[in-house]
């Protein structure tokens, strides 16, 4: 760890958006998952969600180890449990879904707590998911193809969300809970030390202003 690296990690974490997230439903192709996570990291998403019947996201779904390191992934066993979790945190659920009530993705407010629901590469979101969403959003298409690749669609929607949130000043100060911020910063800076401390049931020590560990805590 160097002071420059520490400052960069802290700066990135300071801009994480705890109330902007994604929920993928039956998105299985590893290259799409990888691209979705890279975009999520790029726009400052702290945690993404995935529906997985086994209760965890299979390793092969996460082709980008780097992206997963920076974006938390929470797996849900079914759609209902995922939606209950997101709604309990106050999120509006926006499903990327073509319907008679769907609106242009640029015409919704992403500055409020928002979860963007994305469906499978071939079929899109399920009927249950579409019926459960608060609103449907679409990306206008003027050509012959009916839809974009799910990772491309995700990028367009997330960058509109980023644009609105930047204009509203939501990236200008840390919005994470202070204790969560402290813990996550330590894990980003010293992942191996953090793993050892968790196994031993010991708390993370405070880092100094340059990001160094206190003497005796591990290698800096």
- Structural domain boundaries enclosing 157: 19-167
Q: Would the pTM count as exceeding 0.85?
A: yes
| Domain total of the chain | 1
Instruction: Supply the CATH number for residue 135's domain.
Output: 3.40.1280.10
Which pLDDT score is estimated for 215?
A: 76
Instruction: Give pLDDT, residue 121.
Output: 66
Residue environment code for 191-216, b if the CB has 16+ CB neighbours within 10 A, otherwise e: eebbeebeeeeeebbebeeebbbeee
Any domain includes 58: yes
**83 lies in some domain:** yes
Q: What does each of the 220 residues of the chain score in pLDDT, given as a tens digit?
A: 899 999 999 999 999 999 999 999 888 777 888 889 999 999 999 999 998 766 555 444 444 455 668 998 999 989 999 999 999 999 999 999 988 999 999 999 999 999 999 987 667 888 999 999 999 999 988 886 767 788 899 999 999 999 999 999 999 999 999 999 999 999 999 999 999 999 999 999 999 999 999 876 654 4
Q: Quick one: 154 exposed, middle or buried, by C-beta within 10 A (0-12, 13-18, 19+)?
A: buried
Let me know if residue 11 belongs to a domain.
no
47 falls within a domain: yes
Q: Would residue 102 count as lying in a domain?
A: yes
Q: Which helix (DSSP H) or strand (DSSP E) does residue 213 occupy?
A: none
- Confidence (pLDDT) at 67: 60
């Amino acid at each position: 760890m160097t002071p420059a690296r520490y400052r960069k990690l802290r700066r990135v974490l300071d801009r994480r958006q705890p109330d902007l997230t994604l929920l993928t439903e039956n998105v299985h192709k590893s290259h799409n998952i990888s691209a979705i996570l890279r975009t999520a990291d790029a726009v400052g998403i702290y945690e993404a969600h995935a529906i997985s019947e086994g209760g965890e996201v299979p390793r092969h779904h996460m082709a980008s180890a780097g992206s997963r390191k920076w974006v938390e992934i929470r797996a849900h066993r079914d759609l209902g449990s995922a939606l209950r979790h997101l709604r309990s945190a106050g999120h509006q659920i926006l499903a990327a879904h073509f319907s008679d009530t769907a609106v242009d993705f640029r015409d919704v407010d992403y500055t409020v707590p928002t979860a963007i629901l994305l469906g499978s590469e071939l079929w899109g979101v399920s009927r249950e998911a579409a019926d459960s969403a608060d609103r449907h959003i679409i990306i206008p298409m003027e050509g012959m193809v009916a839809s974009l690749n799910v990772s491309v669609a995700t990028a367009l929607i997330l960058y509109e969300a980023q644009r609105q949130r930047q204009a509203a000043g939501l990236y200008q100060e840390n919005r994470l809970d202070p204790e969560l911020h402290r813990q996550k910063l330590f894990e980003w800076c010293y992942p191996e030390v953090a793993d050892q401390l968790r196994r031993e049931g010991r708390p993370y020590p405070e880092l100094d202003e340059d990001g160094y560990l206190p003497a005796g805590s591990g290698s800096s």
